[in-house]
């Protein structure tokens, strides 16, 4: 579920990312006269590795306000685009090309966790929940890899589009089922049901991120995997994603994004680990509008992909002692750790 997949918008992000360190860019930012220190105050309150308990108190105040994952305002944004999911040259073109890296990221990570897989159907026997599936852009390639996929989305028009498209392939029609519902509805009826959850370009649109993560924990089997792709909460993402793309150039409608809903890898790791997950990898992502392709990069300042696993016992995460100074020096920031993909 993503409205930010507009090609020109991604092009602007790519260009400014490449030249964002220039003196001209710095001058422009200063002229905008935004109080960055105030805007980033919520991010700076987190000391994920050294002050887990204090950081998580701040996280809960920021993200736990509604106890529902669905934001009606966000759902309304995608209503008019529900029939355009499978237009590979349209608004969702970058999401189509994102499959070139996010599908292998999910596939290879899962294969590395188990040696029991079938040639030609490497994900056979794995139950995947695709949260915010939209028109099924990620559900279908995962189904073709042999997985049993359940795609959910609160917008019925998205589900109708997904159902119609999968019906063209009889094999997919058997492997994928779609439901128009929220994640919390799935959590109410299913406990420890799924091996994997994917939430690609979703968490920046949910109403309550901690409720979202808590529901993911509930429906995942022990040691199940959670895959997330999203936008980071940085000065650069605000300038490019909000000020430039929406307010100045009008590349996407004003109000498409709420920067307060963006989240840095460090913040997301805090929320995940306080809810019984262990973060295994975080990889930076970059879209090149000229080639129409995505690539892995070191920086997580704009887009990133994350893999976390559900702990065997939630207490392992919530009750552990903060790391020592020596441990912090040895592992200063897992958020920039890349895995082979």
The answer to the question of whether 204 is labelled as a binding residue is yes
The answer to the question of whether 184 is labelled as a binding residue is no
Instruction: Tell whether 200 is in a known binding site.
Output: yes
Q: Is 205 annotated as a binding residue?
A: yes
Task: Consult the annotation and say whether 88 binds a ligand.
Answer: no
Strands 303-310 and 277-288: antiparallel
Check if the beta carbon of residue 3 is closer than 8 Å to that of residue 81: yes
> What is the four-CA torsion angle of 332, 110, 309, 62, rounded to 10 degrees?
80
With 0-12 CB in 10 A as exposed, 13-18 as middle and 19+ as buried, what is 245? buried
Residue 102 assigned as binding residue:
yes
- For the chain, how big is the Rg over CA atoms in Å? 19
| Helix (H), strand (E) at residue 277 | strand 277-288
Cα distances (angstroms) measured from residue 120 to each of 123, 124, 232: 9, 9, 35
- Nearest Cα neighbor of 220 from 142, 154, 311, 138 is 311
Return the closest-CA partner of residue 216 out of 62, 69, 71.
69
Report whether 166 contacts 136 (CB < 8 A).
yes
Q: Does 331 belong to an annotated binding site?
A: no
Report the binding-site residues for S-adenosyl-L-methionine: 102, 132, 153, 200
Report the binding-site residues for Mg(2+): 201, 204-205
Report the binding-site residues: 102, 132, 153, 200-201, 204-205
């Amino acid at each position: 579920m993503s409205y930010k997949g507009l090609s020109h918008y991604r092009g602007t992000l790519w260009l400014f990312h490449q030249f964002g360190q220039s003196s001209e860019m710095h001058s422009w930012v200063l002229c905008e006269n935004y109080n960055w220190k105030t805007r980033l105050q919520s991010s700076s309150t987190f000391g994920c590795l050294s002050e887990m308990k204090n950081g998580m108190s701040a996280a809960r105040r920021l993200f736990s306000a509604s106890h529902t994952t669905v934001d009606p305002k966000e759902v309304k944004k995608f209503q008019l685009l529900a029939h355009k999911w499978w237009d590979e040259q349209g608004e969702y073109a970058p999401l189509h090309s994102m499959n070139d890296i996010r599908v292998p990221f999910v596939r290879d990570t899962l294969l590395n966790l188990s040696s029991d897989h079938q040639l030609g159907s490497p994900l056979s026997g794995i139950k995947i929940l695709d949260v915010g599936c939209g028109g099924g852009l990620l559900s279908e390639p995962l189904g073709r890899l042999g997985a049993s996929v359940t795609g959910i989305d609160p917008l019925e028009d998205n589900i109708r589009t997904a159902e119609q498209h999968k019906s063209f392939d009889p094999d997919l029609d058997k492997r994928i089922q779609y439901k128009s519902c929220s994640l919390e509805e799935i959590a109410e009826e299913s406990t420890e049901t799924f091996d994997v959850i994917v939430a690609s370009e979703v968490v920046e649109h949910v109403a309550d991120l901690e409720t979202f993560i808590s529901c993911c924990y509930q429906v995942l089997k022990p040691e199940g995997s959670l895959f997330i792709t999203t936008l980071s909460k940085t000065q650069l993402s605000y300038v490019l994603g909000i000020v430039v793309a929406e307010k100045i150039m009008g590349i996407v409608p004003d109000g498409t994004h709420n920067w307060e809903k963006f989240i840095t890898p460090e913040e997301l790791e805090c929320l995940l680990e306080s809810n019984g997950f262990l973060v295994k990898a975080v990889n930076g992502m970059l879209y090149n509008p000229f080639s129409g392709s995505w690539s892995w990069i070191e920086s997580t300042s704009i887009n990133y992909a994350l893999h976390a696993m559900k702990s065997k016992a939630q207490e392992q995460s919530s009750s552990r002692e903060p790391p020592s100074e020596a441990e912090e020096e040895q592992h200063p920031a897992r958020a920039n750790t890349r895995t082979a993909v």
